[in-house]
């Protein structure tokens, strides 16, 4: 029958900037950022207003932890990046949540360990913390920003020709 085993590669997918539709917590939101032209980057009947912010390393690392890690990252919307990228590298007033160091940046590490009602309580608690956070911003050269990730794919547009693979996907 042949080999039925296959290698699974966990690929995270993120934009080079933060987005959110509708109401909710968004620590790096900046209403002065110009909207990127795209048919999906607008207010919708169900999702609410489209909001922009700066890339948030602590929340990125938290999301990766919740997934149990990723093998690589596909980074989209690389085309609007200039030579320098403004990012949130940590939160100034983060004292209650345990911190740890990644290769370069500090992040939240407080992953949920319970299910059901306890997890909902945890998420409510985390939301309360996030609401009070003050992002610390730093400016990275575009190359430094890219080097912060184990990149698998970078995307510079909507077409297949705009995608660049930084590893083999067997």
The radius of gyration of the chain's CA atoms, rounded to the nearest angstrom, is: 18
- pLDDT tens digits for range 97-135: 444 333 333 445 444 455 555 555 666 766 777 777 889
Average pLDDT over residues 144-161: 94
More confident residue, 63 or 95: 63
Q: How far apart are CA 88 and CA 129, in angstroms?
A: 16
Q: Tokens representing 124?
A: 């409510």
The predicted structure's pLDDT at residue 160: 95
CATH H-level superfamily of 11-165: Adenylosuccinate Synthetase, subunit A, domain 3 (3.90.170.10)
Residues with Cβ within 8 Å of 9's Cβ and at least 6 positions away in sequence, in order, are 71, 72, 152, 169
Query: pTM for the whole thing?
Result: 0.78
Q: How far apart are CA 72 and CA 13, in angstroms?
A: 9
Q: Where are the domains of the chain?
A: 11-165
**Range of weakest confidence among 23-27, 130-134, 137-141, 163-167:** 130-134
Is the per-residue pLDDT at 92 higher than 60?
A: yes
């Amino acid at each position: 029958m042949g080999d039925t085993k296959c290698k699974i590669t966990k690929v995270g997918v993120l934009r080079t900037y933060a987005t959110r539709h509708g109401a909710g917590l968004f620590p790096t939101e900046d209403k002065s950022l110009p909207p990127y032209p795209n048919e999906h980057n607008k207010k919708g009947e169900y999702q609410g207003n489209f909001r922009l912010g700066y890339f948030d390393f602590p929340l990125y690392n938290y999301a990766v932890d919740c997934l149990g890690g990723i093998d690589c990252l596909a980074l989209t919307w690389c085309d609007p990046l200039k030579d320098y990228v403004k990012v949130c590298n940590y939160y100034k007033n983060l004292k209650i949540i345990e911190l740890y160091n990644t290769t370069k940046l500090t992040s939240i590490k407080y992953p949920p360990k319970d299910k059901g009602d306890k997890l909902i309580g945890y998420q409510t608690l985390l939301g309360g913390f996030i609401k009070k956070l003050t992002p610390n911003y730093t400016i990275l050269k575009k190359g430094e920003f890219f080097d912060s990730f184990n990149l698998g794919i970078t995307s510079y547009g909507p077409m297949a020709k705009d995608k660049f693979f930084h590893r083999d996907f067997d």
